[in-house]
């Protein structure tokens, strides 16, 4: 159940489906008035997913000093290969989190923060940004993905 919260499954189009079929040049396009590209959003989600994996593994990753530190990388990919590598990294980060959902006591943690709280936060964070990806794709005329998105 917690893994569904991480992926968005049953709530909205899953993150990997939201990225599927997107031509790499569109990943770096920024429609007028939008603050980020799809590529920037994906790298931002990866940053926090990988940060949480480290935390769940007992490491002590330091959060960035300022919000901008959580937005790594350029505006767009330099090539199709770079885009494909980024999408695979996003998928690996989500899978790594899903594997850790069942590991350890969900109410354990460090300080005042539990594993469950951080998993909830990253699930909400990912859902929020996947929604932005969908909106950007719609603005770019690159929607729906091959899966058709979420339809009834």
Question: Is residue 148 in some structural domain?
Answer: no
Task: Indicate the number of domains in the chain.
Answer: 1
Give the CA diameter of the chain.
Answer: 46
151 has pLDDT over 90: no
What pLDDT sits at residue 7? 55
pLDDT tens across 14-40, in order?
889 999 999 999 999 999 999 999 999
Question: Is residue 105 in some structural domain?
Answer: yes
Distance CA(142)–CA(133), nearest Å, equals 11
Question: Is residue 150 in some structural domain?
Answer: no
What pLDDT sits at residue 112? 86
pLDDT tens across 97-130, in order?
999 888 888 888 877 889 899 999 999 999 999 9
Neighbours of 149 (CB within 10 A): 16
Question: Is residue 146 in some structural domain?
Answer: no
Distance CA(68)–CA(120), nearest Å, equals 22
Question: Is residue 51 in some structural domain?
Answer: yes
| pLDDT mean across residues, the chain | 90
Q: Give the structural domain span for 129.
A: 2-140
62 has pLDDT over 60: yes
In CATH, what number is assigned to the domain containing residue 99? 1.20.120.450
Long-range contacts of 108-116 (CB under 8 A, 24+ apart): 115/56
Question: Is residue 145 in some structural domain?
Answer: no
Question: Is residue 78 in some structural domain?
Answer: yes
48-59: average pLDDT: 94
31-58: average pLDDT: 96
Question: Is residue 147 in some structural domain?
Answer: no
pLDDT band at 89 (very low <50, low <70, confident <90, very high): very high
Which among 69, 53, 123, 104 is positioned nearest to 61, based on CA atoms? Answer: 53
pLDDT greater at residue 92 or residue 11: 92
């Amino acid at each position: 159940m917690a893994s569904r919260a991480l992926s968005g499954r049953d709530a909205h189009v899953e993150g990997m489906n939201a990225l599927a079929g997107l031509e790499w040049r569109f990943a770096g396009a920024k429609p007028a008035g939008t603050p980020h590209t799809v590529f920037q959003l994906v790298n931002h989600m990866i940053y926090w997913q990988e940060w949480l994996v480290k935390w769940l593994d007992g490491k002590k990753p330091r959060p960035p000093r300022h919000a901008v530190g959580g937005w790594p990388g350029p505006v767009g990919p330099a090539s199709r290969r770079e885009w494909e590598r980024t999408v695979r990294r996003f998928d690996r980060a989500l899978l790594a989190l899903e594997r850790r959902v069942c590991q350890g006591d969900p109410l354990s943690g460090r300080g005042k923060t539990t594993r469950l709280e951080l998993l909830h936060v990253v699930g909400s964070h990912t859902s929020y940004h996947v929604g932005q990806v969908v909106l950007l794709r719609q603005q770019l005329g690159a929607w729906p993905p091959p899966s058709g998105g979420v339809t009834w």
